[in-house]
Amino acid sequence: MTLPLLQIRDLHIRFQKDGAQLDAISDLSLDIERGSTTVVLGESGSGKSLTAKAVMGLLPPGAEVVSGSVRFDGRELVGLADRELRRLRGDAIAMIFQDALTALNPVTPIGNQIAEVHRIHERISKREAWSRAVASLDAVRIPDAARRAKDYPFQFSGGMRQRAMIAMAITRNPDLLIADEPTTALDVTVQAQILELLDDLRAERNLALLLITHDIGVAAQSADNAVVMYAGRLAERGTIGEILDEPAHPYTSGLLGSVPGPEHRGRDLPTIQGAPPSLDDLPGGCAFHPRCALATDVCRDRLPARTDFTTTHTTWCHHAEEALDGQPAAATV
């Protein structure tokens, strides 16, 4: 049996803040296969981006992995020396950030910025690095790539800048591409084009794609598998079909219920009542209980154990069967 390209096991990340220790990620386990797209869903503060940064070895100051494992292609990344991590970043694992305008250097031509990635990793001539940069811009379908490589970021539209960021990420042919909200700042048409491009690159290069988003529409369009996170823990995971068609966690149902559709025409859009908790004020038991219409005493007292519905579909909820049966889920307004 081949191992998943990325295997996260029981990951626990803690923040130090004002002398207190805050659990940002707890008991996170996740597998990502080569050539597949896994989407991580959840509101702001759920731990999606921090998970990605842990894989990249780019945790912010004050955060540390206190236990668990992140294995990439069979190699343990937790505790790996910075030098080794730097080598992996770009070469084997790459990341696209959500705001292409601030991620690109405004005073350097785009081609030079991509060429620089090669020269950091490899002793090659400027000419060779430049030609690889142009090839990468061509791969992300920038028209007339050789000429546009000389342009500065301000000369590119929002969608083109995001393509340039993708070109920079794939230019070293990584095996795993992490895209953190890659379409948030784009209009719907451009968003669809970027998702299509990412999917084409995944298929052409057998890339594993980890897509972080709060947008269910993005997930539905692109993913093979989905992971739903809440307050730094897994709420549910499954194939995208299982998550969209048979949600078995009230939080997932709440997220799905708040997607605008024709049935909401002329009516208020349902939303999940309340807001995600902050790390220094996590509710006891299931952290979702203050917002959940199915919450009972056991939810307030104890963390839910996992329930496996299929080999791929797992949820962490005391009342998973009722949630799956479509009982009123999140408290909505």
**Residues making contact with ligand SF4 (CB under 6 A):** 249-251, 286, 288-289, 292, 294-295, 299, 304, 317-319
Of 49 and 253, CB closest to ligand SF4: 253
Of 26 and 171, CB closest to ligand SF4: 26
Report, in Å, the least distance between residue 211 CB and ligand SF4: 24
Give the integer Cα–Cα distance in Å for 325 and 309.
12
The helix/strand/coil state of 89 is: helix
7, 73, 108, 313 from 34: Cα distances, Å: 11, 10, 34, 19
Report, in Å, the least distance between residue 250 CB and ligand SF4: 4
Of 14 and 319, CB closest to ligand SF4: 319
- Tokens linked to 73: 């292609």
Of 3 and 333, CB closest to ligand SF4: 333
Query: In angstroms, what is the C-alpha Rg of the chain?
Result: 21
Report, in Å, the least distance between residue 289 CB and ligand SF4: 4
Report, in Å, the least distance between residue 54 CB and ligand SF4: 25
Of 179, 160, 173, nearest in space to 223 by CA: 179
Distance of CA 271 to the CA centre of its chain: 22
Instruction: Please report how the helices 82-91 and 110-121 are oriented relative to each other, as an axis angle in degrees rounded to 10.
Output: 130
The helix/strand/coil state of 94 is: strand
Of 216 and 231, CB closest to ligand SF4: 231
Report, in Å, the least distance between residue 317 CB and ligand SF4: 3
Question: What sign for the dihedral angle of Cα 215, 11, 207, 154?
Answer: positive
Give the integer Cα–Cα distance in Å for 276 and 146.
46
Of 148 and 319, CB closest to ligand SF4: 319
